Each structure stands twice: as C-alpha cells, then as structure tokens.
Amino acid sequence: MFDEIMEKFEDSPSQQAVIRLILERGFSVNDEGRVVSGGIEIPNTGIAREIDVDRRVVDATTDAILADEELRRIFQNISAIPSLMDLAPVLDLTVLTILPTDADQPGIVAEVTSRIADRGISIRQTISEDPEFTDEPKLYVVTDEPLAGDLINEIRALGFVRKIELE
C-alpha cells in the first residue's frame, strides 16, 4: 500500500516527503485539508519546516489527498499510538528491536513475545510496523526488565530475524 500511495506522488519528491511525515507521525487529514493529530491542528508551516519544503507543498499534498477517494479514506482514519520507546531510558525499560527478513511472514510477533513471556518477563508494549507503509518494517518490544543474553541469542537465532538491536 505504501508503494501505491507514493506512486501517486511520484512526480513530486516534496509531496512524498509530506506523505512520509504524515504516516510516520500518525497524523491525519481532516475535511478542510488540515493536518491534525486527533482534534489538534498541526500548522502547515510547522510541517513544511520539519521536512524543509514550502508550506504550499503541504497544501497541495492535502488537496491531492482529499481529491482521491482512496487516499481520503486512508488519511482521514490514521491515528497515532503513544510509544514507550523514547521513554524507555527514563523509565528504566528495555527496548528490543527486530528487523525481520520477511515482515509478511506470519507468527513473528507471537514467536518473539512468547519466548519473552516464557521467561516471566512482562511486556509493556509491542509495536509492529506495517510492511505496507514502511520500507524496512521493524518489531519493537518494550519490556519491564533487561533480557538475558541467552534469550537474546535465542531470539537472534530465529529464522526470520535478520538483525536485532537492544536499548
């Protein structure tokens, strides 16, 4: 799906940057063509400044979204999910990041979380990036306590794991 969305803006790398930012931040577009987070409006100038484009590029992108029924349905229904990942160091949590070889493979989340739970470790949050919306989807698992080295090695040895990161 991500590729299909980006194709609609293939003639404008600046508009693609706007699309990418909206998706990454979990913003949506309301009926007036304003970028919002819930009911809070995000100024187009702020979005433009963040990705170094003119604010008119943001306007043109939201106009294009509203003009396309498929894009309208997608971008009017996006919502953000609060993440513990940035708070992990402050709250003394552990973040395990897994980069799979094939994110479409079923059972990745179940396999990883089962192995952690089997060790009696509480999982505070999991975030699985959608392979349809991200070029390199990752699975993030936030735990209450550090993961033992043998558990990390066990997870690293799973056939679908390409790379593992620990914070």
Is the predicted pLDDT of residue 1 greater than 80, yes or no? no
Residue 122, exposed/middle/buried by CB under 10 A (0-12, 13-18, 19+)? Answer: exposed
The token duo for 96 is: 């395990």
CATH of the domain at 111: 3.30.70.260
- Burial profile 50-80: b = 16 or more Cβ within 10 angstroms, e = fewer: eeebeeebbebbbebbbeeeebeebbeebee
Do 67 and 128 sit in the same domain of this protein? no
Domain count, the chain: 2
Phi and psi at residue 107, to the nearest 5° = 90, 0
The pLDDT of residue 68 is 97
Residue type, 61: T
Reference 93, options 11, 18, 17, 167; nearest CA is: 167
164 strand-pairing partners: 98
pLDDT digits (tens, 9 = 90+) for 95-123: 999 999 999 999 999 999 999 999 999 99
Domain extent at residue 140:
88-166
Do residue 69 and residue 96 come from a single domain?
Answer: no
pLDDT band for position 2 (cuts 50, 70, 90): confident
Give kind and range of the element (H or E) at residue 56: helix 55-67
Tell whether 154 is covered by a domain.
yes
Residues 39, 98 share a domain = no
Is 125 inside a domain boundary? Answer: yes
3-state SS string for 75-111: HCCCCCCCCCCCCHHHHCCEEEEEEECCCCCCCHHHH
Candidates 34, 129, 153, 27; CA nearest to 80 is: 27
For residues 61 and 106, membership in a common domain is answered with no
Within a domain: residue 82?
A: no
pLDDT in tens, 41-89: 999 999 999 999 999 999 999 999 999 999 999 999 998 888 899 899 9
**Does one domain contain both 97 and 149?**
yes
In this prediction, residue 12 carries a pLDDT of 96
pLDDT, averaged across the chain: 94
Looking at the fold, whether 54 and 118 belong to one and the same domain comes out as: no
